[in-house]
Chains A and B, each alone.
Chain A
Amino acid sequence: MTATDMAKITINLVVIYVIGGLIMAFVYAKTSPIMFIKAKEEKEAALKLMMPEADTINTLGAWEPHEKHAEYYAALKCGEVKINQVTDEKTGKMKEEKECLSPEDIGYIVEGYGKGYSSYIHILASVDKNFTVQKISVLAHGETPGLGDEIEKDYFLNQFEGKSADNLIVIKGETADKIEAITGATISSRAVTEDGVKNGVIMLQDKLSGEVR
């Protein structure tokens, strides 16, 4: 093999990879801002769904389950909604702006991660003021299709309503007050229940019960 051959092969490979890289970078540059906005909107919609009766949801702080960034929120309900007439700065027209008077905490929402069978399961859990679970939802996961992905199904998720942190334990087989594991997916069930929701609720209790509300 001569030096020319070596140069040919190298240039051939480099050129094709550069073209491939440029195409991928171009697609990424075009899509990622839209993806980011859509993901944010979806998160807000998911939060709203966790506590439909809340008027506003405020971020209280952040914590790091499994070294990932996760936030927790307070769900507020307005004692009274006052509608103010204000002038819009841009158009100069009058418009209505809602003002929340004497807001009251009706519960909290915590974002968390549970280490599952083949992925970190991204969850949201809402609790009332006594830290009893109201609702949970699975935002994203990479568990086995057909087995672990049953954690998204309502029959599993609905078990969480009304459970306190002490009862967030997975049991194989039937149970009256704990969480029943999904057949063939005990690890995923545990990840959601014990690693995700339970740790989140305990973290909320630790951080919030000391504060005067």
Chain B
Amino acid sequence: MSLKPKSNWELIKNGMFGENTIFRMAISLCPSIAVTNGMKNGVALGVSVVFVQTMVNFTVSLMRKFIHPKIRIPIFMLVIAGYVTIIDLLMATYARAVYKEIGLYIQIIVAFASIFARAEVFASKNKVFSSICDGFGMGVGFLLAMIVISFFRELLGKGELFGISIIAGNPLLIMILPAGGFLAVGLLMGFFNWVDMRFFGGKGASGV
């Protein structure tokens, strides 16, 4: 983390690219492999994360002066789990059709390293609006990563996009199995680091 203050737009951009959860920070890799075997799943989880991450950052930042630093961890856990529980209940009651589609992913979010990390690194030390921007940027960065990974996995593994057939013939089944997830994430991570080094003068993952 650099210490000079950033504008809100820089914060959002930082979350999307500079400190992209998956491709740069390499955290929350579990969902990037578990639920990226189709565009629909990837996008559903990504959108849920944008929402939860923004709300958690907002709440933690709001509470930062009341939290004793020694017990911040159980409190972050409560905030995250609380949001997930409430969203889960509200969706199961008032949006049952949507809940059937993405209810499963909402519950997965409890164990997200990226949300916890931003609460700890950013929201607990910064002003409310900056924290909302940071959370939103991080969430969108995660969403973009999920879109890119699931695009390649669904296209190569099933020959489909959003469940609509694109390529005829035998797909590479391994791409939608867990092994293909590791493969896709690894190759894409390498690719984005190469782009950063080659065109933007970055130092690669080791230099962050």
Q: Decide: A145 near B68, CB < 8 A? Known: A13-B75, A35-B92.
A: no
A interface residues, tally (CB under 8 Å): 24
A53 → chain B closest CB, angstroms: 26
A9, A28, A184: the one within 8 Å of B173 (CB)? A184
Kindly list chain B residues whose C-beta atoms are within 8 Å of the C-beta of A17.
74, 78
* CB atoms of B82 and A142 under 8 A apart: no
Known contacts A12-B68, A17-B78; A147/B93 CB under 8 A: no
A42 neighbours in B (Cβ, 8 Å): 96
User: A39-63: which residues lie under 8 A (CB-CB) from chain B?
Assistant: 42
Cα A34 to Cα B74 with chains together (Å):
31
Chain A 1-50 residues near chain B, CB threshold 8 A = 8-9, 12-13, 16-17, 20, 23-24, 27-28, 31-32, 34-35, 38, 42
A9-B68, A16-B67, A147-B37 known; A24 vs B85 contact (CB < 8 Å): yes
CB contact list, B79-99 vs A, under 8 A: 79, 82, 85-86, 89-90, 92-94, 96
A158 within 8 A of B: no
Contact between chains at A16 and B90 (CB < 8 Å):
no
User: B66, A27: Cβ atoms under 8 Å?
Assistant: no
A16 with B78, Cβ < 8 A, contacts A9-B68, A27-B89, A38-B93 known: yes
Partner of A145, one of B35, B63, B67, B85: B35
Whether a CB of chain B sits under 8 angstroms from the CB of A146 is yes
B residues 22-48 touching A (CB-CB < 8 Å): 34-35, 37-38, 41
Is there a chain B Cβ closer than 8 Å to A183's Cβ? yes
Q: Shortest Cβ distance from A209 into chain B, in angstroms?
A: 36
- Residue among A32, A144, A183 with most chain B CB within 10 A: A144
With A9-B71, A38-B93, A147-B37: A183-B173 Cβ-Cβ less than 8 Å: yes
Asked if A31 meets B176 with Cβ closer than 8 Å, knowing A20-B82, A145-B35, A146-B38, the reply is: no
Interface size on B, residues (CB 8 A): 30
Residues of B within 8 A of A184 (CB): 173, 176-177
Separation of A31 and B177 alpha carbons in the complex (Å): 37
A139-153 to B contact mask, C-beta < 8 Å, 1/0: 000101111000000
Q: How far is the CB of A69 from chain B (nearest CB, A)?
A: 20
Provide the residues of chain A in CB contact with B34, threshold 8 Å. Answer: 144
Tell me whether A142 and B89 are in contact in the complex, defined as CB-CB below 8 angstroms, given that A9-B68, A13-B71 are known contacts. Answer: no
Q: Are A145 and B93 in contact (CB under 8 A)?
A: no
Q: Is B113 an interface residue (CB 8 A)?
A: no
In the complex, B166 has a CB within 8 A of chain A: no
Given the known interface contacts A23-B82, A23-B86, A31-B89, the answer about A16 and B66 at a Cβ–Cβ threshold of 8 Å is: yes
Distance from B58 Cβ to chain A, minimum over Cβ atoms (Å): 15
A8 touches B104 (CB 8 A): no
CB distance from A158 to the nearest CB of B (A): 17
| A157 to B: closest C-beta gap in Å | 16
Please name all residues of chain A whose beta carbon is closer than 8 Å to the beta carbon of B78 when the two chains form the complex: 16-17, 20
For A32, A144, A146, which residue has the most chain B Cβ atoms within 10 angstroms?
A146
Distance to closest chain A CB from B157 (angstroms): 8
- Kindly state whether residue B4 has any CB partner on chain A within 8 Å: no
Going nearest first, the 8 A-B pairs with the smallest beta carbon separation are: A146-B37, A31-B93, A145-B41, A146-B38, A12-B68, A31-B89, A35-B93, A20-B78
